């Protein structure tokens, strides 16, 4: 199977690297030239919970067209870039290509479907945490289950095949009949963790060490749960607040993707995480004051990067 990873930052490199180690033909696609050059010249260096090694059986390109046709396209670009990135990858998406999104936030499934058709899309969530250390280097900071599902809820041969591919890459995989509910479940975790870490500079696990941040985590998640219920989303698993706390503990040493973005003065995904809850709350008449504050604070950080 030929696999391409669209958006090869911390998480794209983690999935691409582990799949290449398993023997698959993997191409990473990213716009950061130094990152691409480092991977091609020196390999992809991975350190962290599974030890330290360099993956050399992988290549990287700066445009999707250089990757060539693929059987599986895994999308890891930031949600704000999804439509543009998938449109740029049209040339490598064949009749039998499956597209798997494991991105954060709301709206990615709809954006991808609008470009390539809903029938090509498989959605999922990942419990892994990864940090980009520099060009060609990542730290695997936390691990969990990867859950994938067809949009229509079917557990079919295609889904089983992609699940088996991920399992061969060393991922713990579950197949879901309610993947949109699980995407909301992952969103609730990001609601509780990402903006708070971006504002405070704390690693994930530290959020539950202080009563002040733990209270904000709880309130933000509870608001988002109310919005999810208002939309008729079926949530699965344990209490969402406790789940967010547990994820923070399990990824204690990880710097969230939003904290990494703020540290590197990059555009964050606040619009499709806390911002999405604020917008949906407005539409449904459900108040979301804590999420509004978190959204505003991260937005101001973005606007004042050059002043710091």
| Enzyme catalytic residues | 186
Distance CA 297, CA 54 (A): 38
Could you give the C-alpha distances from 297 to 98, 179, 261, 274, 291, in angstroms and in order?
Answer: 38, 31, 14, 11, 10
If 0-12 CB within 10 Å is exposed, 13-18 middle and 19+ buried, where does residue 138 land? buried
| Residue linked to tokens 């969990």 | 144
The answer for residues whose C-beta is within 8 angstroms of residue 11's C-beta and 6 or more apart is: 76, 102, 126, 128, 130, 257
- Is 153 within 8 Å of 177 (Cβ atoms)? yes
**The length of the chain, given as a count of residues:** 308
């Amino acid at each position: 199977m030929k696999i391409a990873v669209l958006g090869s930052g911390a998480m794209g490199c983690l999935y691409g690297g582990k799949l290449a180690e398993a023997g698959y033909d993997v191409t990473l696609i990213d716009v950061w030239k130094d990152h691409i050059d480092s991977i091609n010249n020196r390999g992809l260096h991975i350190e962290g919970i599974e030890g330290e090694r360099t993956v050399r059986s992988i290549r990287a390109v700066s445009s999707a067209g250089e990757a060539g046709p693929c059987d599986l396209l895994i999308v890891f670009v930031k949600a704000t870039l999804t439509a543009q990135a998938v449109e740029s990858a049209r040339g490598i998406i064949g009749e039998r290509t499956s597209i798997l999104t494991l991105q954060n936030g709301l709206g990615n499934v709809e954006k991808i479907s609008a470009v390539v058709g809903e029938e090509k899309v498989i959605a999922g969530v990942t419990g892994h945490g990864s940090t980009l250390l520099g060009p060609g280097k990542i730290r695997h900071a936390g691990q969990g289950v990867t859950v994938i599902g067809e949009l229509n809820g079917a557990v079919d041969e295609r889904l089983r095949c992609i699940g088996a591919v991920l399992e061969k890459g060393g991922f713990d995989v579950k197949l879901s009949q309610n993947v949109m509910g699980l995407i909301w479940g992952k969103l609730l975790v990001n609601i509780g963790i990402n903006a708070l870490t971006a504002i405070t500079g704390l690693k994930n696990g530290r959020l539950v060490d202080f009563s002040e941040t733990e209270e904000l985590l709880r309130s933000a998640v509870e608001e988002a749960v109310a919005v999810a219920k208002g939309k008729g989303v079926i949530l699965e698993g344990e209490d969402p607040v406790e789940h967010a706390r547990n994820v923070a503990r399990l990824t204690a040493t990880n710097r969230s993707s939003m904290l990494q973005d703020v540290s590197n003065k990059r555009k964050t995904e606040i619009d499709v995480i806390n911002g999405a809850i604020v917008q949906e709350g407005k539409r449904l008449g459900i108040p979301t004051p804590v999420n509004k504050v978190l959204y505003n604070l991260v937005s101001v950080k973005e606007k004042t990067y050059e002043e710091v």
